[in-house]
Structure 1
Amino acid sequence: MGNLVIAQEDPSSPDAVRLMAELSAVLQDITGDNGLSSFGPDDVRVPRSCFLVARDDKGRAVGCGALRPLDGAAAEIKRMYAAQGGSGVGAALLAALEQEADALGYHVIRLSTRIVNTRAVSFYERHGYRLIPNFGRYKGREESACFEKQLVRHE
């Protein structure tokens, strides 16, 4: 997909709300859980966090992703979504989130997805994320697969 513009937006904006609702419906179909219990807009209204929206060359919102702090060195990706048919949107959003994490001083990015969400698992593995023991709220949750990627510092 050419000419994507990825920028920070408020997670309560109409486009952000629509994209996250689409994501919730997709997750509900795939996993039986809409994912809403593990993210709220205030999660990215704190320092060292962001919510990004990708727009196509016509200005249509076609994807989103959030970055929130886990600790001083690690950030977590949440609500990552690329609308169907948006070839390359997910990769572009992931790269933008990694750049934001680097700029915010993080050394590692972590995330969780459901094992049954094989498309997401494959996507993150293709982009250099490696499986790690479940962390935080995902400990002991056999349905979760947690991943991490060390960031290459660009100082």
Structure 2
Amino acid sequence: MSTSALQLQKEDPLAADSLRLMEELSTALESITGDSGKASFDAADVIGPAACFVVARDDSGTAVGCGALRPLQPGVAEIKRMYARHGTTGVGSAVLRFLEAEATALGYQAVWLETRLVNRRAVDFYEARGYTRIPNYGKYIGNPLAVCFEKQLP
């Protein structure tokens, strides 16, 4: 699948395709980390003027990836529920670029996120895209299984 055929747009996190993608993500995270991540996400956090939920669709309109952006603290947004369906190429990068552009447009200076150290694919993904490790924040403080990242926005 070519990423040029991808359509990314803000959608309702409670819509059927959004819920299906997040359920796939939860299943994948459960198998990698032993935790679905569901407890760390509330759809209400990504609805509103300072937040968004994005769905990536292939050229046939099939939902193949998603991600969310929510306000975390002044000047900082948090990326949540990043997912690209297994077997796709470029979807995660496209979703991440969309969320970074949206965060910039909303006036954020940085984006933060958390993943699990054991999720090497995610750790490598973010590091390859300019994210740097920061001290664990919020609910992740003191959690040796978590790793937090930041990217400064233009």
TM range, smaller chain: over 0.9
Q: Distance in 2 between matches of 1:107 and 1:122?
A: 23
**Which runs of 5 or more structure 1 residues have no equivalent in the other structure?**
none
Deviation at 1:71, TM superposition (A): 1.2
Q: 2:115 is matched by which residue type in structure 1? A: T
Q: 2:14 is matched by which residue type in structure 1? A: S
Deviation at 1:47, TM superposition (A): 2.9
TM-score calculated relative to the size of structure 1: 0.97
TM-score calculated relative to the size of structure 2: 0.97
Query: Who is 2:144 aligned against?
Result: 142
Q: Distance in 1 between matches of 2:138 and 2:114?
A: 10
Q: 1:7 is matched by which residue type in structure 2? A: Q
Q: Distance in 1 between matches of 2:69 and 2:127?
A: 18
Q: 1:62 is matched by which residue type in structure 2? A: V
Stretches of 4+ moved more than 3 A in 1? Answer: none
Q: Distance in 2 between matches of 1:68 and 1:47?
A: 10
Aligned equivalent of 2:98, options 76, 96, 99 = 96
Query: Who is 1:58 aligned against?
Result: 60
Q: Distance in 2 between matches of 1:146 and 1:47?
A: 25
Q: 2:132 is matched by which residue type in structure 1? A: R
- Percent pairwise identity: 57
Q: Distance in 2 between matches of 1:14 and 1:132?
A: 34
Deviation at 1:63, TM superposition (A): 0.1
Query: Who is 1:130 aligned against?
Result: 132
Q: 1:22 is matched by which residue type in structure 2? A: E
Query: Who is 1:75 aligned against?
Result: 77
**Which runs of 5 or more structure 2 residues have no equivalent in the other structure?**
none
Aligned length: 152
Q: Distance in 1 between matches of 2:57 and 2:42?
A: 22
**Aligned-CA RMSD value:** 0.6
